[in-house]
Structure 1
Amino acid sequence: MAEKPQQKRAVALRYDPARDKAPTVIAKGKGRTAEQILKLAQKNAVPVRSDPTLVQVLSRLNLDQEIPPEVYRAVAAILAFLNRVNRPT
């Protein structure tokens, strides 16, 4: 029996150092919902980074839940990448 292909997953985070102690899950989904999250990000010029392992961990969190300390380093690397991408040249 052929293995069923995995559905696309997406998780969106918000991080405002002025109000958040840690990045917070603001959207998550798989399949069509994931596609909508990615389209909305693209429409609003929000950079997207692919990390299937991290998405698997983050997708287990509830909406409005802060990320756990175990993934701080991975998320910090992504935030650093986004800061470089968004830095004016």
Structure 2
Amino acid sequence: MPSSTNTPPQAVSLQYDGDGAPKVTAKGQGYIAEEIIQAAKEHHIPIQQDSELVALLGQVQLDQEIPEKLYAAVAQVLLFAYEVSGKELPRKSEDL
């Protein structure tokens, strides 16, 4: 019986610019996931591990906005990423 430690890594990359919902910009498992994670590390992009969220986000097509049912979970990830990186959250021009 395979153990969960033998499952290939999975990764999903998100982009959020303040307009609309975040978009899935890259996703994959195994070697591709390792490449996504390595690229994030090289560019000092914060990484958060959440296998359940990755599984759900992996169902979203590339360059598509995340579904509304994932907004709250992804908002927590974005807050984490912006806090860790010391950046401010993007704001819509109408909020300025």
In the superposition, the TM-score normalised over structure 1's length comes to 0.89
SS in 2 for 1:10: strand
Q: Which structure 1 segments of 5+ residues have no match?
A: none
Partner of 1:14: 15
Q: How many residues align?
A: 85
Aligned-partner Cα distance in 2 for 1:35–1:86: 21
1:41-61 CA-partner distances (Å, limit 9, x unpaired): 000111100000000000011
1:10-64 CA-partner distances (Å, limit 9, x unpaired): 00000001xx300000000000000000000000111100000000000011100
Residues 45, 81 of structure 2: 8 Å contact kept: no
Q: Map 1:48-87 to 2 at 5 A.
A: 48-87=47-86
Once the 2 structures are TM-superposed, how far is the Cα of residue 85 of structure 1 from its aligned partner? 1.1
Once the two structures are aligned, what percentage of the paired residues are identical?
41
Aligned-partner Cα distance in 2 for 1:23–1:52: 18
SS in 1 for 2:56: helix
Bigger mean CA deviation after superposition, 23-32 or 2-11: 2-11
CA RMSD, Structure 1 to Structure 2 (Å): 1.3
SS in 1 for 2:78: helix
Q: Which structure 2 segments of 5+ residues have no match?
A: 88-96
